[in-house]
Each structure stands twice: as C-alpha cells, then as structure tokens.
C-alpha cells in the first residue's frame, strides 16, 4: 500500500509573494475496523450437510448480530461442498431463505464441470463463479474476512 | 504499506521570496509486514478434542517461534467447538495454561444460548463474545490473521 | 494500494499574489483488487490424502483460472498434515508437478521434530519453515489470502 500526501503552498513566479503558507493539510487515516464495511466470504468445501447447516447458521448469526444491512455475506461452495447447492440438497429451503435475506450464494463452475453438473442440476436463484477458489482468494485480497466453518 | 506526508511551502521563482522553507515534513512509514504487530485469531468449531489440542499446540508453537510478547492470540470456540470450553473439557488444564501465557480464550454466547449453557457450565477465567463468528470477522478486518486448525 | 492526495496552494505567474490558495486536491482511491498481486497460502493440516489432493486441485485450478504467472501459491503442511510431504506420500508425484509449476511447498520443521522426521524422510525439492503456523500468519499479515481446504 502506498499513500502519499503532498501539500505545497507556493507563489510560483510571483514578484511579490508574501511568505507562502500552508493552507491546509489533511491526512485521512484508514478508518477503524468498526467503520469499515463488514464483508465475509464463507467457504463450503466439505461433503457434509452438518457443515452446510453450520455455514448457514453462521451467516444468519452474523446478520442478527451486526444487522443484515451492515454485512455483505457470500457463501462459496466448491469441490466436495458442491452438493450443498444441488437440486436435491437437504439445505435447499434454508438456502432460499438465506438468499431472500441477501446472502449471496455461489457455485463453482469448475467443480460442476468435473462432476458433469449443469445449471439444471442446481438450486434455482443461486449465482455462479468460474472457480470458487479464485473467488475466495480475490475477496480476501479486496479486504473481505474469510470463514471456513 | 508506505505512507508519506510531504508538505512544502515555497515561493519558487519569486524575486522577493524569502527562502522557501519547509513548514512541516513528516513521513510516517508503515512498518513492513515483519514489523507489524502479529495477531492471530484461531477458530475452534469442531466437536473434536484432537482439534482442540491442535489449536492449543498452534498457539503454543506460535508463541515459542516468534516470542510470546510479539504475538496476540485469540482462540474463539463456537458452534460444535464450544465443548472445548465446558467445565468437563478434556483440554481444561491446557486452556488454563494458555490463558496464563496470555492467550485470550473466548466462548460464543450465541452458541451457549442454543445449547442452554450458562457461564456456570464453562471453564473459569475464559472470556465471552456475543457471537464468535462476528469476533472472527472483525479481527480479520482489523488486520489479524486467521487460523482454522 | 496507492492513494495520493496532492494539495497545492500557489499563485502561478501572478504579479501580486497575496495569500496562495488551494488550487486542487486530488485523492486517488485504492485500486481494485484485480490490480494487486494475487497471493495465497494453502494450509494442509489434516491427515487425510483426500484433503491433500483437494489442496493440490485448488492450487492447479487457481493457476488455470488466473494464469500461473499471476498468482503466488504456497502450500504449508504442518501437524497431522505433514504426511503429505513424507517420502511415502501418495501425492508425491502430484507435489513434484506442483513444484514444477512454481507452487512453493513447505514443511513445518516443528512438526517434523515432534514426529522425529528428518529431511531424509521427506520428499525431495520441498522447502522448510521453522513453524508452519508462523508462516501462515505472516503471509496473511503481508496481504496473502488464506485457504484451508
């Protein structure tokens, strides 16, 4: 990170410049964590409905604890976790509820290709990313927190 | 991270300019990663004493490797991991040792409510957070590293 | 991230400049994450070859998705995950391939000492860190993303 604050006060080419002086210097510091947007990407990569429910519980608890309007939540399912988002998923109803509550739910197309799944095999209303792992990396680089239930 | 604040006040090319002078120059450089405060939040969310011991080993190894004075460590137990902090926890003695070594140990009150646990059911000396998952998110947003053993 | 605030107060070419005044203030906001170096540390801490393969799949998919030249990847094996890097590891061939593709593979010497392993017991070509958990913490503090498959 590179932050430069350059303040110059001058009378350039002026014949009668009185002493130039500093008009203003303002350095805006990084906001404290409490002021930063709260964002979290939740990874689901286990073939284990208990973990899928835990991920959904975590999302719900976060929204209840800090206020749904104050936190962006993405759930990314990939690898052995992709079953969470298949049509026959036992957590289908809860995922629909989460999406209604503005939790973004993403399936990994890489994994789907590997398992010969098409969008017709998946729950309605979910979103897709080319590679779940890239999404998880990029979000963190953008400043999102990461949770692996 | 690099932060530079450069303030110059000058009369350049002025005939009557007294010597341009520096009013203030302050360059605060952000410390390199190695110089940054080392802080880590360790998640315990498995109902598995082997994982509890691993989390405690990780905390201990971190302190031994970088020096206990140079790293802030928080262990957050929530969901299926809450058993680590119950009175009958097989890791009770090790948790007491960790707290003596300034590792902060936090139980999730959300989980406790769900499992009808009160503070009387929990190990002495531990601390509490309303929601473990919020603590884990906020710490990362504040710049703490995250470990999920 | 690059943020520049440039404030200049001057009377340029003015004969009778009295007080210089603020001409411009420009704040360049943080560039999007896509412009930042993509770096990720992948943790292997389970004694489970399925997880070892998943970690290797994740590294491969990342390189294929964003281009191998655009992402730094480190795999850190420690604790119960150290078996991934032992001579007899079922993933030995894949690890050699990953290293050829510039994935850095690191074994935790702390864990090795605990399990009485020497470098002779380990796969050729891998690298070593004194403590895997410290490596994982430091990388995150340096801005690397973290993945725990």
Interchain proximity B133–A65, CB inside 8 Å: yes
pLDDT tens readout for residues A80-123:
999 999 999 999 999 999 999 999 999 999 999 999 999 999 99
Nearest chain B residue to A13 by CA: give it: B13
Is the Cβ–Cβ distance between B109 and A37 less than 8 Å?
no
What is the distance in angstroms between the Cα of C124 and the nearest Cα belonging to chain A?
A: 28
CB count in 10 Å sphere of residue C18: 12
Task: Please provide the DSSP assignment of C76-106 as one string.
Answer: EE-GGGGGGGBTT-TTHHHHHHHHHTT-EEE
d(CA A5, CA C96): 47
Q: From edge to edge, which strands make up the β-sheet containing B104-108?
A: B127-129, B104-108, B71-77, B38-44, B145-147
According to DSSP, the residues that pair with A8 across neighbouring strands are: B8, C8
Provide the pLDDT for residue C14: 40
Nearest-by-Cβ selection for C145 from A2, A17, A140: A140
Both tokens assigned to B146? 């995250």
Distance from CA of residue C122 to its chain's centroid? Answer: 23
Touching A: which chains, 3+ CB pairs < 8 A?
B, C
Model pLDDT, residue C37: 86
> Taking 70 as the threshold, does the pLDDT of residue C92 lie above it?
yes
CA distance C132 to B51: 16
Q: Closest by alpha carbon to C51, among A74, A128, A148?
A: A148
In contact, C74 and C101? CB cutoff 8 Å: no
First CA to last CA distance, chain A = 30
pLDDT tens for B134-149 read 999 999 999 999 999 9
Kindly provide the b/e burial profile for residues B59-84, where b requires at least 16 CB atoms within 10 angstroms of the residue's own CB.
Answer: bbbbbebbeeeebebbbbbbbbbbbb
Handedness of CA A124, A130, A135, A137 (dihedral sign): positive
* DSSP 8-state secondary structure symbol assigned to residue A26: -
Residue B102 has pLDDT above 70, yes or no: yes
Q: Where are the domains of chain B?
A: 1-30, 33-147
| Cα atoms in the Cβ-side hemisphere of radius 13 Å centred on C45 | 23
Q: Flag if A3 and B3 touch (Cβ within 8 Å).
A: yes
pLDDT, position B37: 86
Q: Quote the CA–CA distance of C120 and C124 in Å, as a whole number.
A: 8
* C148 closest CB neighbour out of B36, B62, B148: B148
Contact: B140, A146; criterion CB under 8 Å: yes
Q: What is the pLDDT of residue A8?
A: 39
Beta strands in C19-70 (DSSP E): 22-27, 38-44
Q: Which helix (H) or strand (E) holds A136?
A: helix A132-141
CA distances from A114 to A127, A131, C59 (A): 18, 12, 16
Q: How many whole angstroms separate alpha carbon A123 and alpha carbon A112?
A: 13
What residues of chain B lie within 8 A of the CB of A2, using their CB? Answer: 1-3
Given the candidates 3.40.50.620, 3.40.1260.10, 3.60.40.10, 3.40.30.10, the CATH classification of the domain at A33-147 is 3.40.1260.10
A148–B148 C-beta distance less than 8 A: yes
- The 10s digit of each residue's pLDDT in C41-54 is 999 999 999 999 99
Separation between Cα atoms, residue B93 and residue A4, nearest integer Å = 50
pLDDT above 50: residue A34: no
- Under a CB-based contact definition with an 8 Å cutoff, are residues B22 and B48 in contact? no
Backbone φ and ψ for A58, nearest 5 degrees, come out as: -60, -45
Are the beta carbons of C109 and C77 closer than 8 angstroms? no
Determine how β-strand A145-147 pairs with β-strand A38-44.
parallel
């Amino acid at each position: 990170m590179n932050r430069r604050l350059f303040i110059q006060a001058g009378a350039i080419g002026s014949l009668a410049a009185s002493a130039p002086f500093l008009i203003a210097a303002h350095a805006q510091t990084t906001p404290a964590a409490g002021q930063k947007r709260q964002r979290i990407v939740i990874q689901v990569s286990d073939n284990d409905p208990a973990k899928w429910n835990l991920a959904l519980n975590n999302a719900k608890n976060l929204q209840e604890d800090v206020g749904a309007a104050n936190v962006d939540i993405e759930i990314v399912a990939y690898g052995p976790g992709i079953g969470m988002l298949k049509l026959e998923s036992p957590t289908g109803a809860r995922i629909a509820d989460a999406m209604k509550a503005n939790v973004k739910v993403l399936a990994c197309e890489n994994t789907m290709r590997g398992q010969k799944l098409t969008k017709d095999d998946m729950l309605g209303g979910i979103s897709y990313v080319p590679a779940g792992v890239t999404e998880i990396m990029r979000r963190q680089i953008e400043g999102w927190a990461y949770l692996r239930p």
